[in-house]
């Protein structure tokens, strides 16, 4: 599927909904959190590995293209590899976002430019700029492997890593789930209880009897 079309369809889906469709998808460590709330990040992974030094991050940022997500495996270092200037440059180049398994800084500036940045830590401490590390190789970020070209999607709940094929496979089902959940919310706003919109009582009774059952919406 053309990435533009894939991005359009993913844009209306939450990470929680996507995970519900395929629980085998790779989800980054929940400690990888968004600096800016209420932003959606959808892009193609451009990877870089580094340790204590941000020179290769700058190189990867220079090489990156529109719609890419800069995925930085900094081995969880508690020093900053991304700041306001890097985020501003990424925004200028129309990147989709930055994810760093390490720290970032200049939080006020990053929030002011309203660009998706995810990191494990926040600190004023910066790394060095004197060592070259590999880019565009498989890395480990947030506890999961990320390869160049993977689809990265993030929101306030976290970050999911998918192959293009996995992304295409979840689209229809995930969209249907969100349609159902929207209807549930509408009914709850009119006074309906959550349990009466589910097969809760039948499901509970079967589970109590050690029988197989699945909790589903009944609308």
**pLDDT of amino acid 1:** 84
Question: Percent of the chain at pLDDT above 90?
Answer: 99
User: Residues 152-173: pLDDT tens digits?
Assistant: 999 999 999 999 999 999 999 9
Question: Using an 8 Å Cβ cutoff, are 81 and 136 in contact?
Answer: no
Give 40-66 pLDDT, tens digit per residue. 999 999 999 999 999 999 999 999 999
Q: Could you give the CA distance from residue 103 to residue 79 in angstroms, rounded to a whole number?
A: 5
How would you write 81-150 as a 3-class SS string? EECHHHHHHHHHCCCCEEEEEEEECCHHHHHHHCCCEEEEEECCCECECCCCCCECCCEEECCEEECCCC
Domains of the chain: 3-163 (3.50.30.40), 169-208 (no CATH)
Q: Which residues of 74-93 are buried (b: 16+ CB within 10 A; e: fewer)?
A: bebbebbbbbbebbbebbee
Whether the full predicted model's pTM is greater than 0.75, yes or no, is yes
pLDDT greater than 90 at residue 174: yes
* Average pLDDT, rounded, for the chain: 97
| Range scoring the smallest mean pLDDT among 1-5, 141-145, 195-199 | 1-5
């Amino acid at each position: 599927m053309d990435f533009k079309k894939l991005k359009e369809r993913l844009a209306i889906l939450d990470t929680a909904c996507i995970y519900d469709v395929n629980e085998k998808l790779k989800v980054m460590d929940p400690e990888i959190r968004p600096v800016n709330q209420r932003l959606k990040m959808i892009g193609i992974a451009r990877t870089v590995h580094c340790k204590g030094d941000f020179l290769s991050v700058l190189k990867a940022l220079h090489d990156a293209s529109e719609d890419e997500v800069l995925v930085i495996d900094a081995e969880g270092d508690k020093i900053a590899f991304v700041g306001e200037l890097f985020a501003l440059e990424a925004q200028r180049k129309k990147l989709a976002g930055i994810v760093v398994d390490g720290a970032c800084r200049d939080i006020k500036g990053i929030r002011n430019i309203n660009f998706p940045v995810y990191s494990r830590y926040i600190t004023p401490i910066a790394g060095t700029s004197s060592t070259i590390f590999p880019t565009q190789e498989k890395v480990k970020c947030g506890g999961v492997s990320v390869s160049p070209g993977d689809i990265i999607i993030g929101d306030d709940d976290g970050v999911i890593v998918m192959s293009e094929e996995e992304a295409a496979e979840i689209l229809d089902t995930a969209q249907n789930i969100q349609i159902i959940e929207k209807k549930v919310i509408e009914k709850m706003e009119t006074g309906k209880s959550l349990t009466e919109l589910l097969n809760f009582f039948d499901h509970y009774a079967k589970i109590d009897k050690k029988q197989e059952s699945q909790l589903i919406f009944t609308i």
